[in-house]
Chains A and B, each alone.
Chain A
Amino acid sequence: MASTISSPSPRWLGQITPWLVPVAILAAWQAAAQLGWLSTRILPAPSAVLAAAWTLAASGELLTHLKASFARAAIGFAIGGGIGFFFGLINGGYRLAENLFDTTLQMVRNVPHLALIPLVILWFGIGEEGKLFLVALGVFFPIYLNTFHGIRAVDASLVEMGRSYGLSGWSLFHHVILPGALPGILVGVRYALGFMWLTLIVAETISATSGIGYMAMNAREFLQTDIVVVAILLYAVLGKLADVAARLLERRLLRWNPAYAPA
């Protein structure tokens, strides 16, 4: 401790220090693969993964699969998130709706949605509908629960103030209730994005003719471990991108809140 205080290290050193360990692991991995200690069937060298990614990108195959996966994720999210948001709003806003729907929804919530896969295949076959259904179900509950609690957590004194200033109906919702519930709703969005990718991975590995999951399954058939690793990394990148997007959304929409202000 004392030495770091007495001799401050240069700025660039502090910036590269966190990357030393990952780079070392990558280097060791590369060396192990090239020296033959690590079978390429178990794990291909990082350079081979990169090369596979490059080949897939150059042939346009990668983009096709990315598009297919992204479209499924977006449509499923829009459907499930939209329905979840709707039920969150009415159940949070109206006691009657809560009494009518909440118990049912809570019961359904306790069923792991991936357990429905056999049934989903029977209902929808192996087409797109089943995958969208699973993704929609996966994102429904995080959005529903957090919207519901967000609405309930809106400061009642602000609602009273709004009413006494002549707001009612849509204007009260638009100016007071929705912005007040937004921190909660955005937490739900972030959870939902995580569930969205998780569900998509599983759904695409069941049976598909496009998408990143299909790409990985197909590569497995031909023992192309490098492509399998590319697919896994792609999921990681997509998940990270979704998280970054959610963070940006929070910073933009909640910029009034000191807790979300940029540091």
Chain B
Amino acid sequence: MGVIDSNEIRALTGAPAPGDARKSGVRIRFDGLSKAYAARQVLNDVNLDIDAGEFVAIVGRSGCGKSTLLRLLAGLEQPGAGGIALDGEPLQQTRDELRLMFQDARLLPWRTVVDNVALGLPGSRADVRRAALAALADVGLADRADEWPSRLSGGQRQRVALARALVHRPRLLLLDEPLGALDALTRIEMHQLIERLWLAQGFTALLVTHDVAEAVALADRVLLIEDGSIALDLRVPLARPRERGSAAFAALEDDVLRRVLQHPPLEDQAAAPSTVSFGQWRWAA
């Protein structure tokens, strides 16, 4: 099975021409990026280039800094040192081009499904509603447009969150373990949905996940973060749509999983130094 360029796949699936896809995605460059909380170094001198339109998955144990990387990219936190550039421009000027999907859907419960999708969308009322309905149709929820989010299942809420992110036509989509709380079947459906929309719209995607199979199923490239730096950078040379049952898929998944497991869990390392000062203990007693 040969390595197929993602642009060829787009051509095969009838998506926009390769040139367009390249243009719609954003190129990312991390340059000596570091971040520390109090005494703990979360990210340590991360240098990384991500191509426009690339789908990159970041895996790693809990607390390895993978979510922090995404939050820095989303501008929710500021780096301690180093910088991030999108298409060569410093991050601050290009915030509008990226959208973030959170671990929970974070829909506003007081707005209907379609109004949630329309949140922050500029334009006239009718245009905004039309765009929001189109985005909902993309995730298969057009018929639930006027319901309250509380009436939806967890998977449906994440689909609405995906529609809300994509209605802005972002050039970069950040996914912070958005499928972690969903059941296995719903996850597989979401994988297909995300892959289809990514192929159609050509944005750059960055997925943080615990699930190695998810990373291998979706990404062009799997990154492993350990101790705040990139320990593995692996291309996934499988053709799309990927077959989870195939030997090549299983072998890749196994490789990555073994590599992740080599590293001792962070909890064990963190247990030794106590961060609780004597004064705080006195209050607890």
Report how many residues on chain B are interfacial, defined by Cβ distance under 8 Å: 21
Could you say which of B106, B148, B149, B168 contacts A161, with CB atoms under 8 Å apart?
B106
Residues of B within 8 A of A158 (CB): 106, 108
- Bound: A160/B74 CA distance, A: 11
Task: Choose the segment among B9-17, B96-104, B216-224, B249-257 that binds chain A (4+ C-beta atoms closer than 8 Å).
Answer: B96-104
Q: Do A179 and B119 touch across chains, with their CB atoms under 8 A apart?
A: no
Q: Do A164 and B100 touch across chains, with their CB atoms under 8 A apart?
A: yes
List B residues 93-126 near A (Cβ within 8 Å): 95-96, 99-100, 102, 104, 106, 108-111, 119-120
- Bound: A121/B109 CA distance, A: 48
CB distance from A253 to the nearest CB of B (A): 9
Q: Do A257 and B76 touch across chains, with their CB atoms under 8 A apart?
A: no
B150 close to chain A: CB less than 8 A: yes
Q: Do A175 and B148 touch across chains, with their CB atoms under 8 A apart?
A: no
B75 close to chain A: CB less than 8 A: yes
Chain A: number of interface residues, binned into ranges: 20 to 34
With A157-B102, A256-B150 already in contact, the answer to whether A164 and B108 are too (CB < 8 A) is no
CB distance from A153 to the nearest CB of B (A): 13
CB distance from B10 to the nearest CB of A (A): 28
Residues of A within 8 A of B100 (CB): 164
Interface of A is mostly: helix
Q: Do A257 and B109 touch across chains, with their CB atoms under 8 A apart?
A: yes
Q: Do B104 and A164 touch across chains, with their CB atoms under 8 A apart?
A: no
- Bound: A173/B227 CA distance, A: 39
- Bound: A171/B164 CA distance, A: 17
Chain A 148-181, CB within 8 Å of chain B: the 1/0 string?
Answer: 0000000001101111111100010001100110
Could you say which of A163, A166, A256, A257 contacts B111, with CB atoms under 8 Å apart?
A256
Residues of A within 8 A of B109 (CB): 256-257
CB distance from B29 to the nearest CB of A (A): 21
Chain B 117-140, CB within 8 Å of chain A: the 1/0 string?
Answer: 001100000000000000000000
Residues of A within 8 A of B102 (CB): 157, 161
A112 close to chain B: CB less than 8 A: no
- Bound: A92/B24 CA distance, A: 42
Q: Do B104 and A256 touch across chains, with their CB atoms under 8 A apart?
A: no
For B74, the closest partner residue in chain A by CB is: A164
Chain B 187-218, CB within 8 Å of chain A: the 1/0 string?
Answer: 00000000000000000000000000000000
A258 close to chain B: CB less than 8 A: yes
For B109, the closest partner residue in chain A by CB is: A256
CB distance from A143 to the nearest CB of B (A): 20
Could you say which of B74, B106, B110, B164 contacts A256, with CB atoms under 8 Å apart?
B110
Residues of B within 8 A of A257 (CB): 109-110, 150
Q: A162, A179, A182, A256 — which one has the most chain B CB atoms within 10 A of its CB?
A: A256
- Bound: A163/B106 CA distance, A: 12
Chain B 68-93, CB within 8 Å of chain A: the 1/0 string?
Answer: 00000011100000000000000000
Residues of A within 8 A of B119 (CB): 162, 165, 167, 175
Residues of B within 8 A of A163 (CB): 76
List A residues 207-263 near B (Cβ within 8 Å): 254, 256-258
For B102, the closest partner residue in chain A by CB is: A161
Residues of B within 8 A of A254 (CB): 110
Q: Do A256 and B148 touch across chains, with their CB atoms under 8 A apart?
A: yes
Q: Do B120 and A160 touch across chains, with their CB atoms under 8 A apart?
A: no
CB distance from A259 to the nearest CB of B (A): 10
Q: Do A176 and B150 touch across chains, with their CB atoms under 8 A apart?
A: no
Could you say which of A162, A166, A171, A180 contacts B96, with CB atoms under 8 Å apart?
A166
With A167-B119, A167-B120 already in contact, the answer to whether A175 and B104 are too (CB < 8 A) is no
CB distance from B11 to the nearest CB of A (A): 33
- Bound: A182/B111 CA distance, A: 13
CB distance from B108 to the nearest CB of A (A): 6
Could you say which of A157, A162, A166, A176 contacts B104, with CB atoms under 8 Å apart?
A157
Residues of A within 8 A of B150 (CB): 256-258
Residues of A within 8 A of B110 (CB): 179-180, 182, 254, 256-257
- Bound: A126/B149 CA distance, A: 54
For B148, the closest partner residue in chain A by CB is: A256
CB distance from B104 to the nearest CB of A (A): 7
Chain B 143-154, CB within 8 Å of chain A: the 1/0 string?
Answer: 000001110000
Supplied contacts A175-B108, A176-B108, A256-B111, 11 more A-B pairs, CB within 8 Å: A160-B106, A161-B106, A164-B99, A167-B119, A175-B119, A179-B111, A256-B109, A256-B148, A256-B149, A257-B110, A257-B150
Query: Closest 10 A-B residue pairs measured CB to CB?
Result: A161-B106, A179-B110, A165-B120, A256-B110, A166-B120, A256-B148, A164-B100, A258-B150, A256-B109, A167-B120
10 contacts between A and B (CB under 8 A): A157-B102, A162-B120, A164-B100, A165-B120, A166-B96, A166-B120, A171-B120, A180-B110, A254-B110, A257-B109
Using a CB–CB cutoff of 8 Å, the interface residues on chain A facing chain B are 157-158, 160-167, 171, 175-176, 179-180, 182, 254, 256-258
Using a CB–CB cutoff of 8 Å, the interface residues on chain B facing chain A are 74-76, 95-96, 99-100, 102, 104, 106, 108-111, 119-120, 148-150, 164, 168
